[in-house]
Amino acid sequence: MENRAHRQGGAMLIAFSILLIVVLGFIGLALDVGQVIGRKTELQNLADNAALAAAPELVGTAAGLANAVAKAKSSAADRSAYQRRMQGATLSDDSIRFASAPDAPATAWYAAGAVPDPAKALFVRVDTQGNTPSLGSVATAFLGVWSPALRTLNASARAVAGRVSLRMTPLAICALSTAPASLRTNPGPPERKEALEYGFRRGVAYNLFNLNPNGPAPAHFLLNPLGPLGAVGSPAQISNAAVTPFICSGSMLQTTISGVAIHAHRPFPTELWPAFNARFNQYAGNGCDPQTAPPDTNIRPYPNALSNWWMNMPAGSSAAASASAASLLSVADLPPAALPATIPAASYGPLWSFAKAVQYAIPKPAGDYTAFPTSAWAGLYPGLPTAPASNVYYPASSTPYFAPASQTAPVGNVGVAQRRVLNIALLACPLPGGSDILVNVLAIGRFFMTAPAASGMLSAEFAGVAFEQALAGPAELLQ
């Protein structure tokens, strides 16, 4: 009996020993796998943060690429990025690559110094697998006992970030000229040599729904804000319901429109004009939301009837249309030789509310053209019997939009500065017939809304040309 009990106790000890070994094996496996998973999580966070830090620097230049690399490395070097948030990591150049598309093949991702065209480097990829020194090596405590090949395991992470939207209003108009810069000689006296950009005069407000340099009928287009480039999208993509949020926000779900064809629908639906007025804190019936389409910090309209109006003559919200039957331009666009005998000063609209006319120069000065002083108004905008002139209310060193005396803050909603600036595509017209066509964008014009839009009326002052890279939306993590 005693021997039998002894044998049973021995069997139980053997079974317990085997079970203990198995349990310890599972515990060891769990600990080693946990280390690998933990390192993988650390590296993913590191890669995500580094990619997001680098993406905003991609502005289409070699200097931007260098800044992106520096930002990625600085993010990874933060002490909270690695080794259980106790130290930073060193990212090597091999782990930071750039491409023109987030899903580009492996061969199309380039190191910063080898990017063929910085203007097309729109996305950054941080991949820790190719980093030197290695960041993913994990020494195992138990697995190496079973196999020498398992003594070290490797983890890695990859993140892709970039901008997938443009701060462009999905409205396109005809450029008044295909020349990026040209000279307008205003005889004065004294003579004033003024720079035109794609035919537009800075400081002059245009009715964007009433322009056409090639005929008497207005020409304006709705750009497809979310369809594929290079193809005409579906009718649903340009429906009022689909397009309204993009007009409200002033954005398009396009990575780039430079050098590629985009779907344009003519005409721009005038029933959508209320969506522009979110910028003036007007939301009734236009489908806009102040969270995604906030008002401007200054919502004061700039037609006449203001106690501190800065011009000597009252004016409408934009320059009056010319009487030409050959083209639909504003009075301000008529060449000096074609000006009628009498032009009331009011026909020029509110001058220089956001931007000033600029002096012609070749080459264009570094930074920007030199602005004219307000004393040049009589030579730039001849009027009979009286030319427009500024008065004591015109700011000495800025323009009325930025001057506190000419501002009105929105009530009930938080404003965003310069929301009244519309970034609008300029097209080379005339264009092929048809309601839906593919077009190429010549440039992007900046237009400042002088007053809320109305049916058939979108008054906006030309403020120069914008660079596409500067209009990129917020950086987003894509992979």
Please report which residue ranges of 55-180 form alpha helices under DSSP H. Answer: 62-76, 143-146
- Is residue 120 situated within a structural domain? yes
- Which candidate, 45, 44, 37, 48, places its Cα nearest to that of 138? 37
Same domain, yes or no: 130 and 150: yes
- Is residue 68 situated within a structural domain? yes
Same domain, yes or no: 139 and 182: no
- Is residue 21 situated within a structural domain? no
Work out the pLDDT band at 133, boundaries 50, 70, 90. confident
Average pLDDT over residues 335-363: 90
- Is residue 245 situated within a structural domain? yes
Same domain, yes or no: 70 and 142: yes
388 vs 342 pLDDT, higher one: 388
The dihedrals phi and psi of 321, each to the nearest 5 degrees, come to -70, 150
Same domain, yes or no: 111 and 233: no
- 26-58 b/e (C-beta count within 10 Å ≥ 16 → b): eebeeebeebbeebbebbbbbbbbbbbbbbbbb
Amino acid 244: pLDDT:
94
The dihedrals phi and psi of 365, each to the nearest 5 degrees, come to -60, 150
- Is residue 3 situated within a structural domain? no
Q: Give pairs for 267-272: CB < 8 Å, separation 24+.
A: 267/218, 267/219, 267/220, 267/221, 267/222, 268/171, 268/172, 268/209, 268/220, 268/221, 268/222, 269/222, 269/240, 270/209, 270/455, 270/456, 271/240, 271/455, 272/240, 272/243, 272/244, 272/247
Amino acid 337: pLDDT:
80
Same domain, yes or no: 126 and 194: no
pLDDT digits (tens, 9 = 90+) for 272-286: 999 999 999 999 999
Question: What integer best gives the mean pLDDT of the chain?
Answer: 87
From 139, 163, 187, the end of a domain falls on: 163
Work out the pLDDT band at 89, boundaries 50, 70, 90. confident
- Is residue 433 situated within a structural domain? yes
The CA-CA-CA angle for residues 141, 128, 113, to 5°, reads 155
Is residue 238 within 8 A of residue 222, CB to CB? The reply is: yes
- Is residue 437 situated within a structural domain? yes
Same domain, yes or no: 207 and 333: yes
From 111, 135, 163, the end of a domain falls on: 163
Same domain, yes or no: 264 and 331: yes
- Is residue 397 situated within a structural domain? yes
- Distance between CA 203 and CA 154 in Å, rounded? 61
- Distance between CA 84 and CA 211 in Å, rounded? 62
Same domain, yes or no: 150 and 53: yes
Same domain, yes or no: 216 and 346: yes
Same domain, yes or no: 39 and 182: no
For the chain, state the CA radius of gyration.
31
Cα 145 to the center of its chain, rounded Å: 56
Same domain, yes or no: 146 and 237: no
pLDDT digits (tens, 9 = 90+) for 411-424: 999 999 999 999 99
pLDDT digits (tens, 9 = 90+) for 91-113: 888 899 999 888 889 899 999 88
The DSSP letter of residue 416 is B
Average pLDDT over residues 291-308: 91
Same domain, yes or no: 234 and 201: yes
Q: How many domains does the chain have?
A: 2
Least confident of 47-56, 148-157, 180-189: 148-157
- Distance between CA 359 and CA 470 in Å, rounded? 24
**Domain of 152, in residue numbers:** 35-163
Is residue 171 within 8 A of residue 425, CB to CB? The reply is: yes
Is residue 475 within 8 A of residue 163, CB to CB? The reply is: yes
From 163, 188, 213, the end of a domain falls on: 163
Helix, strand or coil, per DSSP, at residue 2: helix
Work out the pLDDT band at 314, boundaries 50, 70, 90. confident
